[in-house]
């Protein structure tokens, strides 16, 4: 069997060299197994990542995969930790916390667009991985110089990443909107015939938004609007929060 999850996550740390497995050397390293699992998820979605499919894609037996990971759940944690470890370093933070927040949000959105399956991994054990911890540490520095205490710094980071995750999930859900956009004008006209005078506000706003974007949903417009509100909300807390009386 493989090592426990903590040792697997920290397998490349020099302090983990004493923790090893007995038996013949595998044709593939644990890192290569995780890499292949990520490639499968990127290409075919998370449901396609099974121990059997992973073994087949690597030319291994199922039992050989289990010498690297104890379970599919452990494998998913290893996958998330690796993509977190590979996030690019932030831009120069000398331009102020607002620019740093925008970079933070955009980098997380980019990660989730590249690896949308990450949205489907809900396992608190990802927090113990070196890649995830390093990502967390880097991103906390987004709020350097803002005066936020430790608890509010963590809350602000959670707020921004939560927005990015929600936006990414919405974009995944509406990925087919671009394909639908070519038919939107015709569909919108027919839909108006069915609606008649019902739901006038929905019709007015929906028509304006649809005409502006050419589809029922404009991911870029929604992102820009929401991100501006996120920055404004943080500015209120950072710049005005300390001036409010306690109570």
Q: For residue 73, give the CATH number of its domain.
A: 1.10.10.60
Global pTM reads 0.81
183 inside domain:
no
What's the structural domain count of the chain? Answer: 2
Together in a domain, 225 and 155: yes
End residue of a domain, out of 85, 116, 131:
85
In the prediction, which pLDDT does 29 show? Answer: 93
Together in a domain, 71 and 30: yes
189 inside domain:
no
Together in a domain, 153 and 235: yes
- Span 93-132, pLDDT tens digits: 778 999 999 999 999 999 999 999 999 999 999 999 999 9
Together in a domain, 141 and 39: no
Could you give the percent of the chain with pLDDT greater than 70? 83
Q: Which domain holds residue 170?
A: 93-174+217-243
169 inside domain:
yes
191 inside domain:
no
In the prediction, which pLDDT does 202 show? Answer: 86
Together in a domain, 50 and 148: no
- In sign, the C-alpha dihedral spanning 89, 93, 95, 100 is positive
Together in a domain, 62 and 118: no
End residue of a domain, out of 22, 50, 85:
85
End residue of a domain, out of 62, 85, 108:
85
* Mean pLDDT, rounded, for 192-207: 82
Together in a domain, 56 and 125: no
Together in a domain, 157 and 236: yes
* Mean pLDDT, rounded, for 186-195: 78
Together in a domain, 134 and 238: yes
Model confidence at 20: pLDDT above 50: no
- Distance (Å) of CA 193 to CA 10, 188, 216: 61, 9, 17
């Amino acid at each position: 069997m493989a090592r426990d999850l903590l040792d697997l996550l920290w397998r490349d740390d020099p302090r983990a060299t004493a923790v090893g497995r007995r038996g013949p050397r595998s044709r593939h390293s644990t890192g290569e197994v995780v890499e292949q699992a990520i490639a499968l998820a990127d290409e075919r979605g998370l449901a396609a990542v099974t121990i059997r499919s992973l073994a087949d894609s690597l030319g291994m037996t199922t039992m050989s995969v289990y010498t690297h990971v104890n379970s599919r759940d452990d494998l998913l944690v290893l996958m998330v930790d690796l993509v977190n470890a590979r996030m690019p370093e932030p831009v120069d933070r000398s331009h102020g916390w607002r620019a740093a927040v925008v970079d933070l949000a955009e980098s997380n959105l980019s990660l989730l667009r590249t690896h949308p399956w990450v949205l489907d991994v809900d396992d608190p054990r990802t927090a113990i991985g070196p890649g995830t911890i390093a990502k967390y540490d880097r991103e906390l520095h987004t709020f350097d110089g803002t005066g936020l205490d430790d608890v509010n710094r963590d809350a602000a980071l959670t707020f921004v990443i939560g927005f990015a995750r929600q936006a990414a999930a919405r974009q995944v859900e509406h990925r087919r909107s671009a394909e639908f956009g070519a038919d939107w004008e015709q569909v919108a006209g027919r839909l108006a015939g069915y609606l008649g005078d019902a739901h006038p506000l929905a019709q007015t706003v929906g028509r304006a938004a649809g005409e502006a974007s050419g589809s029922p949903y404009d991911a870029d417009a929604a992102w820009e609007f929401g991100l501006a509100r996120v920055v404004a909300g943080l500015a209120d807390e950072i710049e005005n929060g300390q001036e409010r009386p306690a109570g």
